[in-house]
Amino acid sequence: MSYLEQEIREQPEVLARLLTEEVEKARALAEAMRRRKIQYIMVAARGTSDNAGRYGQYLFGAMNHLPVALAAPSLFSIYGTPPRFGDCLVLGISQSGQSPDIVGVLEEARRQGVMTAAITNEPDSPLGQVGDHVLSLHAGPERSVAATKTYTAEVMAVALINAVLSGDPANLAALSTVPEAAAKTLDLAPEVKRVAERYRFADRLVVLGRGYNFATAFEIALKLKETNYIASEPYSPADFLHGPLAMIDESYPVIFVAPSGAMLPEMRFAMQRVSERGAELLVISDDDAALAAGQLGLRLPAALPEWLTPLVAVLPGQLLALHMALERGDDPDHPRALQKVTLTR
């Protein structure tokens, strides 16, 4: 079994451990945010961690009415023109906590007297050292280059902070159901393998997701790029229908991430429009009508509140990246040209 497959399968345990170990740290961060009267959040991240930040943009806004901006680290590290933060929480998200440009954003925030927090799998890393508050992912060593368990742990950490900050016990209770839902979703592996056999020669595809699952579309597309070297492009359907739809024809597979929730009607409308172009639809959903709209479907076995669906909807995408790589004869643990820790400035 590859490291990538092992780590995909570890995710329910990692998520459960994070919830148990980090809830008090999340409460301390939430209380500090209230005391400081935080008005918005700036997220500094790269790659997979940036996708966790995209999820945070929607969740902090929807659940706690806090605007979230994604930092442009080059303003700090190369241009030398950092913005003024104001009444802000600067949140760094990084699996390794080692990337100098992400650390530099938090260092500048400290110079400005701004509150900082870090989400990382390495609390003693340079990023952890510049965070006023640090949440550990508790994911253990990650040996596969393509991140899986650290991504869902980052998403869980963001969800945990929001649940505690909201002050609603029901949100924490809902979070506690996620590890079991993730375990059930991983049982889709045999079905995903059959999809991978069909897509083994694909060299391009589109992944669509909206709202909370905009981040999921980005993360699935990234995993397919990293492990299968194919042009997999993520979009919100709201943007996709404004122009990129023109490139779609019967040769273009389109993956829809469409769990139940407020965005489902919009996703079903987009499915209709894309189907008119003759594309083959692979639908990841728990909704019967959405699944029926696709030629291929992967049924999410557990219904969760929409804000938590990114924690399970990404899992079939991870499995697809794994099994497509195996079908194509590629090494899923060691994608070409990549290494585990990427240091950027």
What domains, with CATH codes, occur in the chain?
Answer: 3-176 (3.40.50.10490), 181-327 (3.40.50.10490)
> Span 278-283, mean pLDDT?
93
Residues annotated as part of the active site? 340
Of the pLDDT bands very low, low, confident and very high (cuts 50, 70, 90), residue 332 is confident
Of the pLDDT bands very low, low, confident and very high (cuts 50, 70, 90), residue 138 is very high
What is the Cα 79 distance to its own chain's centre?
Answer: 28
> Span 108-117, mean pLDDT?
97
Beta carbons of 330 and 227 less than 8 angstroms apart:
yes
Of residues 249 and 307, more confidently modeled: 307
Residue 343 pLDDT: 59
Residue 339 pLDDT: 57
93 phi and psi angles, rounded to 5 deg: -125, 120
Among candidate residues 32, 34, 105, 120, the one with its CA nearest the CA of residue 75: 105
Ranges assigned E (strand) in the chain: 40-44, 68-70, 88-94, 115-120, 133-136, 204-208, 231-235, 253-257, 280-285, 296-299
Structure letter (DSSP) for residue 283: E
Task: Give pLDDT tens digits for 207-221.
Answer: 999 999 999 999 999
Beta carbons of 340 and 146 less than 8 angstroms apart:
no
Quote the tokens at residue 58: 């929607």
44 phi and psi angles, rounded to 5 deg: -110, 120
Mean pLDDT of the chain: 94
- Long-range CB pairs of 323-329, under 8 A, 24+ apart, other chains included: 323/189, 323/192, 323/193, 323/195, 323/196, 323/197, 324/196, 324/199, 324/200, 324/202, 324/224, 324/227, 324/228, 325/4, 325/227, 325/228, 326/2, 326/196, 327/196, 327/197, 327/200, 328/200, 328/228
> Span 231-235, mean pLDDT?
94
Quote the tokens at residue 192: 């995903």
Residue 145 pLDDT: 87
Residue 50 pLDDT: 96
Residue 249 pLDDT: 81
269: Cβ contacts below 8 Å, ≥ 6 apart: 237
Beta carbons of 95 and 48 less than 8 angstroms apart:
yes
CA gyration radius, the chain: 19
Residue 338 pLDDT: 63
Structure letter (DSSP) for residue 243: T
Quote the tokens at residue 184: 């059930």
**pLDDT of 323 strictly over 60:** yes
Of the pLDDT bands very low, low, confident and very high (cuts 50, 70, 90), residue 80 is confident
User: What CA dihedral angle connects 35, 36, 41 and 45, to 10 degrees?
Assistant: -90
Quote the tokens at residue 37: 């009267």
Per this entry, what is the length of the chain?
A: 345
Residue 163 pLDDT: 98
Supply angle C-alpha 45, 51, 54, rounded to 5.
Answer: 90
Q: Give the sheet arrangement for strand 40-44, strand by strand.
A: 68-70, 40-44, 88-94, 115-120, 133-136
User: What CA dihedral angle connects 313, 314, 318 and 323, to 10 degrees?
Assistant: 30
